[in-house]
Structure 1
């Protein structure tokens, strides 16, 4: 998002005065009415800049963000691209469909159910791997089958064998491993502190002119619509946090249907939605680090290059962030020994130890989908299954089913009692009729 020109607040670009004279690349370089960069374009341009920085004897620093993009720069491409799952926001910012592939194989653009059925025919292993509603990944797996003539599951298995062979004979910087001799700094805070900062950050953005930028974007859409130009609002800067949440307010302003008081209430509600979306995105970024990034580093045997720096107390920034990161970079450049990442802080120790334990206990190869027939929900791996069956939703459904069964048993028993009473009454009536007849 920071690549878009003229929107420094809504995309949270680092102010020029805070850059300390250090060149910042790929910021403020695309007009917001341009087509979003494909991930391949970003990776190519990013790697070109990294090579240029290295050639000048300088140290490139890659800053996230959008982990789906940075991941493609950090790690070597696989032989066949097995898409790493982005968050909803990240997934919306790059094209999913390959038009040429759809022309060659029209089934790829068929209804999701038909695409999934075809994948199940040609590659049942991969079909079991994906959730039935995950149309993007299902489509990609079928596309690989058409492109290579082999099931995607077989292609990935071959890549895993090659990856293990490389890992056994490599230092982790070649083949399908990390591209460069890399140290990764995860600047992280305790959850409650992080959430408080996120909400305050939105307030500061509002003070700096967030609504003005969002209003300008909204006006641009109206101008394009008046000219008969359709703008795809499901991609690029249009799905940035801060614009779509404020859209109801600008629509209400435009149609003039609300009072000033109602508009103010709506504005505050929309700002609240920005805060919620910001928190949700931050949580998705953390999940990426804990799952995708950690897994990638584990496969490369390089989890010792992920350093968590505790930013909970900003008053100790120099001791907790600046000092350790500078010492680590110096050791990396001099090829000296690196400390155990868990030794940097208590937060690092607890967080990274949990990730190591998870790596030991979860079988990442066992990713066959598991369906809970009770909740009618499909999980994509054993970890999700364990979280589900021990989660509150599943327990609530079980409790509800237990009550339903108790109710049904009670009603059955009551019905049986009524039927017995009816039979007894019928027997008594027949006996009475018999006695009357004998008299």
Structure 2
């Protein structure tokens, strides 16, 4: 059957625990899909599941990369993950992929449809907007093409020249998307919009030929989800626990490593890899203050608490971005493949109800798939599942997914909006209407002044004649 179980969800929802439960129940092994958890020696900052909670289950691609190792690109991760999946199956076990970095997970779940793949593989990312979630996969191509280090304004201007379709899609502040679109053109010699159009055509042809877009036919995706307010409180508490467990010590270790490299004249790119992990970069002001000779304990403590609060905020924001990816990118991919029934939402809002809301339903679903029996309706699992799925389906029906996103600029208000919906909201808004009235009044005033000026010129002309 070649089954594959994928567990996705925001940080703090219980993905790792569910994976261990399922691996224990169905003789499985776990493949980590979180880019940060691949780094060795930082179990707290990267939120690795403790050894004592793994129940003896083998965990692959976790704590396997050193600090000085170049960040893995998505192609490297996919290749190794697929190798592990095959190896686990050959040993008669069930592979379970646990994704925190969801574009890693998605690259494993779905077949490539990107044309000229051999040209873009060196760029690491496969898929239209993978760059939205991380800068860790962007290769160091700026040495070859210096314009990639130019200002966003210059990059956008160049993109308008070589690929006006993509330039019109991105908001001027979407700097990573603009850079990536330009980078694809420089790497392949073809506009990204042209490549993506062919990609969509290939997907449609695959569906028409009944060729599945999922890499493995027997795939289940379990989305561990929690209500926003509950999850935010849980994440705040988890940050506090991380501090108690030694977060500061690990961050100090990373900071000392950077200082040591700097003293050797070695510059570390802190915009990639583990250096962008939540819990380190937010503490940079604190470690900088510690090194000041005139630092006092009270000021240092204030800075420290401020940095910890920024960690809480960043963690909550990261959870939101993970959910956004699932709702948009993963949902769209499943919809295009016609396999929405493979996605199951498990409500982890109340951890005291874990057995009832998470463990038992997930085991029943997996068992049904392994027995080649019909799996339940995803909406039937819980009220949360029904609400989320129905709301998203309604949004998908109301939106024409074949229509590419486009940016609109209002010359009156000097604002740029992304998408037809936001553009129409702006046009109907009070602010835009006030701006139109003000513009009309200015035009009326200017016309009046021009008329007076012409009358004055005419009067002077008459006087000159006389």
TM-score by length of 1: 0.82
Superposed displacement of residue 217, structure 1: 1.0
**Against the structure 1 CA distance between its residues 45 and 190, is the aligned structure 2 distance closer, same or farther, given a 3 Å change threshold?**
same
Separation in 2, partners of 1:166, 1:354: 28
**Against the structure 1 CA distance between its residues 353 and 388, is the aligned structure 2 distance closer, same or farther, given a 3 Å change threshold?**
farther
**Against the structure 1 CA distance between its residues 258 and 147, is the aligned structure 2 distance closer, same or farther, given a 3 Å change threshold?**
closer
- Aligned twin of 1:260: 297
Q: Residue 78 of structure 1 is aligned with which of 113, 121, 136?
A: 113
Superposed displacement of residue 142, structure 1: 4.7
Matched, 1:68 2:112: no
Separation in 2, partners of 1:353, 1:388: 27
- Aligned twin of 1:284: 321
**Against the structure 1 CA distance between its residues 43 and 401, is the aligned structure 2 distance closer, same or farther, given a 3 Å change threshold?**
same
RMSD (Å), alpha carbons:
2.9
Map Cα deviations across residues 28-62 of structure 1 (whole Å, 9 max, x no partner).
11111221111111111111111111111111111
Superposed displacement of residue 151, structure 1: 4.1
**Against the structure 1 CA distance between its residues 388 and 178, is the aligned structure 2 distance closer, same or farther, given a 3 Å change threshold?**
farther
Deviates further, 247-256 or 209-218: 247-256
Q: Is the 8 A contact 2:163 2:192 kept in 1?
A: yes
Separation in 1, partners of 2:339, 2:146: 41
Superposed displacement of residue 374, structure 1: 5.0
Q: Is the 8 A contact 1:178 1:300 kept in 2?
A: no
- Aligned twin of 2:203: 163
Map Cα deviations across residues 393-418 of structure 1 (whole Å, 9 max, x no partner).
x76x559859x959x89xx8xxx9xx
SS at match of 1:290: helix
SS at match of 2:37: coil
- Aligned twin of 1:340: 377
Q: Residue 60 of structure 2 is aligned with which of 22, 25, 28?
A: 25
Q: Residue 267 of structure 2 is aligned with which of 213, 216, 230?
A: 230
**Against the structure 1 CA distance between its residues 108 and 278, is the aligned structure 2 distance closer, same or farther, given a 3 Å change threshold?**
closer
- Aligned twin of 1:430: none
Separation in 2, partners of 1:206, 1:198: 13
- Aligned twin of 2:347: 310
**Against the structure 1 CA distance between its residues 318 and 384, is the aligned structure 2 distance closer, same or farther, given a 3 Å change threshold?**
farther
Map Cα deviations across residues 201-225 of structure 1 (whole Å, 9 max, x no partner).
0011011000111111111111111
Superposed displacement of residue 170, structure 1: 2.1
Separation in 2, partners of 1:42, 1:146: 24
Superposed displacement of residue 113, structure 1: 4.4
- Aligned twin of 1:43: 78
**Against the structure 1 CA distance between its residues 33 and 399, is the aligned structure 2 distance closer, same or farther, given a 3 Å change threshold?**
farther
Superposed displacement of residue 124, structure 1: 2.8
Q: Relative contact order, CA 8 A, sep 6+: which one is greater?
A: 2
Matched, 1:206 2:206: no
Higher strand content, 1 or 2: 2
Q: Residue 327 of structure 1 is aligned with which of 346, 360, 364?
A: 364
Structure of greater Rg? 1
Matched, 1:369 2:443: no
Q: Is the 8 A contact 1:74 1:180 kept in 2?
A: no
**Against the structure 1 CA distance between its residues 207 and 140, is the aligned structure 2 distance closer, same or farther, given a 3 Å change threshold?**
closer
Superposed displacement of residue 76, structure 1: 1.2
Q: Residue 269 of structure 1 is aligned with which of 306, 317, 340?
A: 306
**Against the structure 1 CA distance between its residues 377 and 306, is the aligned structure 2 distance closer, same or farther, given a 3 Å change threshold?**
farther
**Against the structure 1 CA distance between its residues 166 and 242, is the aligned structure 2 distance closer, same or farther, given a 3 Å change threshold?**
same
Structure 2 segments unaligned to the other structure (5+ residues)? 1-35, 116-125, 450-466
